[in-house]
Amino acid sequence: MDKITQVQDEALAAIAAAADPEELQQVRIRYLGKKGMIQALMAEMKSLPKEEKPAFGQKVNVCKQTVTEELEKRQEELNAGALVQKMEKEKIDITLPGDSISIGTMHPLMMIQQEIEDLFIGMGYKVAEGPEVEQDYYNFELANIPKDHPAREMQDTFYIDPNTLLRTHTTAMQMRELEKAKGQTPIKLICPGKVYRRDDDDATHSHQFMQSEGLVVGEHITLADLKGTLEFMANRMFGEGRQIRFRPSFFPFTEPSVEVDVSCPFCNGKGCSVCKGSGWIEILGAGMVHPHVLEMNGFDPEKCSGFAFGIGLERIAMLKYGIDDIRNFYINDQRFLKNFDRFD
Ligand code: DAH
């Protein structure tokens, strides 16, 4: 019985003296392990006379219990100490200024594209996409511009091979969508995207630029529908009170064809330097889809009709944001792009 007391006292002293979790683990093994001192006491019980066994066993159990509890207590103490030490070492100085993260800005052309998409989606249009490397067939043939047609010279083209080119206008997507519809109406689409022409770059020309095509085909679609739609668009994009004017023009894929002007948003039509005194600014080309284009794409021009338009996004962005050189959109000068910071 004295031995038990002795073992317990030793164990408690060792626990109290353990300076870190590893030392404590050693103490645990020494006293509570399978070959430990307390287990050894248990083994000794066998050699005792029967009547002494219960009291001895009970005392060993109390000893084991006491040592286990003390070990746990010390373990917690040591853990807390270790944590404090760790926190001390890894202390973070929250008064230091944070790293500034430079977040990209929305490109002005993307802003215009999204604005157009939003406003047409609001009128029930869908947004279509198509390839920038296009077949001559969709860019020209289906658009009523056969091989020897002089209108091909209106758009200097980057050819990849005689049948493949970089699309010169989003009208190529109009043709793909018409073909895809297989004569089924109604169609209400806008198709934004990049286009390419063999132009020398200057303040108003770029060999790569952006357009958005618009296309509506159905029964009884008229030029008045086109005018109402574009008037709505002009008012949304350039502010209320804009007027629209049609001037006769020519595109092989529309008949009749028009060039569309918007009343100058800078002088309200009175005449200023932006509209060169005329009070009007040209914004896009449009027209009624040519009956031959409808026919070639499997529509019956006796039963349905449609309007289409093609709008240049750079021109709209230049007007809206007062940008005087188209090259600004493509040279990625941060000083220019930062002007369109969403978080300013
Ligand atoms: N594709 C023409 C161009 O790039 C723009 C255009 C004019 C598109 C009239 C149309 C349209 O859909 O009906 O100059």
**Domain boundaries defined on the chain:** 2-90, 108-340
What local confidence, expressed as pLDDT, does residue 197 receive?
A: 95
Residue 200: pLDDT band with limits 50, 70, 90: very high
Q: Using CA atoms, how far apart are residues 250 and 33, in angstroms rounded to an integer?
A: 98
Q: Which of 229, 309, 311, 314 to mutate to test the pocket of ligand 1 (most atoms within 8 A of CB)?
A: 309
Q: Are 314 and 209 in contact (CB under 8 A)?
A: yes
Measured from the CB, is residue 209 less than 6 Å from ligand 1? Answer: no
Strands 208-218 and 164-166: unpaired
Tell me: the pLDDT tens digits for 224-238?
999 999 999 999 999
d(CA 210, CA 194): 4
**Largest CA-CA distance found in the chain, in angstroms, rounded:** 124
Identify residue 70 by its one-letter amino acid code.
Answer: E
CA 177 to chain centre: 25
Cis amide leading into 256 (omega within 30) = yes
Nearest CA to ligand 1 atom 4: 169
CB-ligand 1 contact for 221 (6 Å cutoff): no
| In CATH, 108-340 is 3.30.930.10 | yes
- Map residue 1 onto helix, strand or coil: coil
pTM of the model: 0.72
- Confidence class for position 92, pLDDT limits 50, 70, 90: confident
Task: Say whether pLDDT at 1 is over 90.
Answer: no
DSSP label at 109?
A: H
Q: How far apart are CA 122 and CA 126, in angstroms?
A: 10
Ligand 1 near 290 CB (within 6 A): no
Which range is most confident: 14-23, 53-62, 187-196?
Answer: 187-196
Residue with CA nearest ligand 1 atom 5: 310
Q: Helix 37-44 and helix 53-89: axis angle, to 10°?
A: 170
* C-alpha gyration radius of the chain: 41
Look at residue 12 in the predicted model and tell me its pLDDT.
93
How confident is the model at residue 44, as a pLDDT? 87
Q: Are 12 and 74 in contact (CB under 8 A)?
A: no
Whether the per-residue pLDDT at 344 is higher than 60: the answer is no
Positive/negative CA dihedral, 262, 265, 269, 275: negative
